[in-house]
């Protein structure tokens, strides 16, 4: 039974959304604590009509915490997660530090909730670009077994944190005013531009962000035979990642069948009326928890291909919402065991 929950990184951008979600979803734990670095300790944050004082995250603070959601950089997660697990805390971690550890389940609740049963104190939440893609893949994989995925991402600057959003806003202003601007988060200007590199060179010309999509997809589906060819691009959009996805299945799925499968899937909203200009766009998906799908059509170059457009709020479903959903799975499982 879980009686206490802590948010690690409670003062950060994703931590703030986690706090909001715990209120919105009426998370079934009353004892909530907020943890952060020493410089944020002592701040008071609004929660459930009152205030909670932020505590400094130290090893001993986890002694009487049953469950925590970590919204921190990878280096911080590598430090604090072992502290927490050693003291009996179950950790839902949003960083990339533990995702590919073979002892750590990588969970998207709509896709592989059963994998949570194997956890040994740590559950990882996937990369944002992977998360929305595997939610979209799930019903097609169950119906026709996906053999191959070709995906191009159009990733918002919020994926690079507050500095990424500032680069876009202030860089655009400087460009319009014909003034110089020193970019902090990106190695090239993002204002009025696209950057076809996210992450460092990793494998045979693919970047670290692209290989995350390959490796994490294999782990989530438990199927290394699914071929994934990703290209990840940073675009001048403040929030919400978009993806152009083409899947090839063993069994043919028509566009109509694919639409029905998407519509029946929890966590997916279909917006697909090309003639009326109806399709998902970042401005319309911002602040929402679903994965939005449109432009559903059969691949005219392949007999068993389905192409579609996919948009999701990378700070919510791509990060905070997925972590809170995992925590909800844990609480429900503990209540019935």
Interval 131-188: pLDDT, tens: 999 999 999 999 999 999 999 999 999 999 999 999 999 999 999 999 999 999 999 9
Give the number of domains in the chain: 2
Nearest to 213 by CA among 227, 225, 200: 227
In a shared domain, residues 64 and 144:
no
Which pLDDT value is given to residue 220? Answer: 98
Which pLDDT value is given to residue 336? Answer: 84
In a shared domain, residues 208 and 297:
yes
Nearest to 265 by CA among 135, 76, 92: 135
Which pLDDT value is given to residue 113? Answer: 97
Nearest to 209 by CA among 225, 194, 223, 197: 197
In a shared domain, residues 119 and 162:
no
Find the CATH number of the domain harbouring 31. Answer: 3.40.50.720
Bridge partners of 4, per DSSP, are 31
Taking every pair of Cα atoms in the chain, the longest distance, rounded to a whole number of angstroms, is 63
Mean pLDDT of the chain: 96
In a shared domain, residues 264 and 323:
no
Which pLDDT value is given to residue 337? Answer: 72
Tokens (6 digits) for 249: 């299945």
Which pLDDT value is given to residue 335? Answer: 84
In a shared domain, residues 139 and 99:
no
Interval 89-130: pLDDT, tens: 999 999 999 999 999 999 999 999 999 999 999 999 999 999
Which pLDDT value is given to residue 189? Answer: 97
Enclosing domain of residue 18: 4-125+319-336
Find the CATH number of the domain harbouring 146. Answer: 3.30.360.10
In a shared domain, residues 275 and 332:
no
Task: Write the CA distances from 312 to 96, 119, 173, 258, integer angstroms.
Answer: 19, 27, 26, 19
d(CA 146, CA 252): 10
Q: What is the mean pLDDT of residues 18-37?
A: 95
Is the pLDDT confidence value at 316 over 80? yes
Which pLDDT value is given to residue 44? Answer: 95
In a shared domain, residues 108 and 146:
no
Task: Write the CA distances from 211 to 90, 177, 197, 223, integer angstroms.
Answer: 28, 38, 12, 15
Which pLDDT value is given to residue 212? Answer: 98
In a shared domain, residues 164 and 119:
no
Which pLDDT value is given to residue 188? Answer: 97
In a shared domain, residues 330 and 278:
no
Band (61; pLDDT cuts 50, 70, 90)? very high
Nearest to 92 by CA among 5, 159, 171, 22: 5
In a shared domain, residues 214 and 254:
yes
Q: Can you point out the beta strands (E) in the chain?
A: 4-8, 31-36, 44-47, 50-53, 55-56, 67-70, 90-93, 122-124, 146-155, 201-203, 206-207, 227-234, 241-249, 268-270, 291-298, 305-312
Is the pLDDT confidence value at 193 over 90? yes
In a shared domain, residues 145 and 97:
no
Interval 269-302: pLDDT, tens: 999 999 999 999 999 999 999 999 999 999 999 9
Interval 232-264: pLDDT, tens: 999 999 999 999 999 999 999 999 999 999 999
In a shared domain, residues 153 and 62:
no
CB 227 within 8 A of CB 247: no
Is the pLDDT confidence value at 329 over 80? yes
Which residues participate in catalysis according to the annotation?
128, 241
């Amino acid at each position: 039974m879980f009686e206490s929950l802590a948010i690690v990184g409670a003062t950060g951008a994703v931590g703030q959304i986690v706090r909001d979600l715990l209120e919105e979803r009426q998370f079934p734990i009353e004892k909530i604590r907020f943890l952060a670095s020493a410089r944020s300790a002592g701040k008071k944050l609004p929660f459930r009509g009152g205030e909670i004082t932020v505590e400094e995250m130290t090893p001993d603070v986890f002694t009487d915490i049953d469950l925590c959601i970590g919204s921190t950089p990878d280096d911080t997660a590598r430090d604090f997660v072992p502290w927490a697990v050693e003291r009996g805390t179950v950790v839902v971690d949003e960083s990339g530090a533990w995702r590919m550890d073979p002892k750590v389940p990588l969970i998207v609740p709509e896709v592989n909730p059963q994998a949570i049963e194997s956890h040994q104190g740590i559950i990882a939440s996937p990369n944002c670009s992977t998360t929305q893609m595997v939610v979209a893949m799930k019903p097609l994989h169950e119906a026709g077994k996906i053999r191959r995925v070709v995906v191009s991402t159009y990733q918002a600057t919020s994926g690079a944190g507050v500095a990424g959003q500032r680069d876009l806003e202030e860089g655009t202003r400087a460009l319009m005013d014909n003034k110089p601007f020193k970019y902090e988060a990106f190695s090239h200007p993002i204002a009025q531009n696209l950057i076809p590199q996210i992450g460092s060179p990793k494998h045979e010309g693919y970047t670290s962000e692209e290989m995350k999509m390959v490796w994490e997809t294999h782990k989530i589906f438990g199927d290394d035979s699914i071929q994934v060819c990703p290209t990840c691009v940073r675009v001048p959009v403040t929030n919400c990642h978009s993806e152009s996805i083409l899947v090839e299945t063993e069994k043919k799925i028509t566009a109509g069948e694919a639409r029905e499968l998407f519509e029946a899937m929890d966590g997916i909203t279909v917006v697909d009326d090309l003639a009326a200009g109806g399709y998902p766009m970042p401005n319309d998906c911002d602040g929402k928890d679903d994965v939005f799908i449109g432009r559903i059509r059969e691949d005219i170059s392949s007999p068993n291909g389905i192409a579609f457009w996919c948009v999701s709020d990378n700070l919510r479903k791509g990060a905070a919402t997925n972590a809170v959903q995992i925590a909800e799975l844990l609480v429900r499982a503990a209540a019935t065991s």
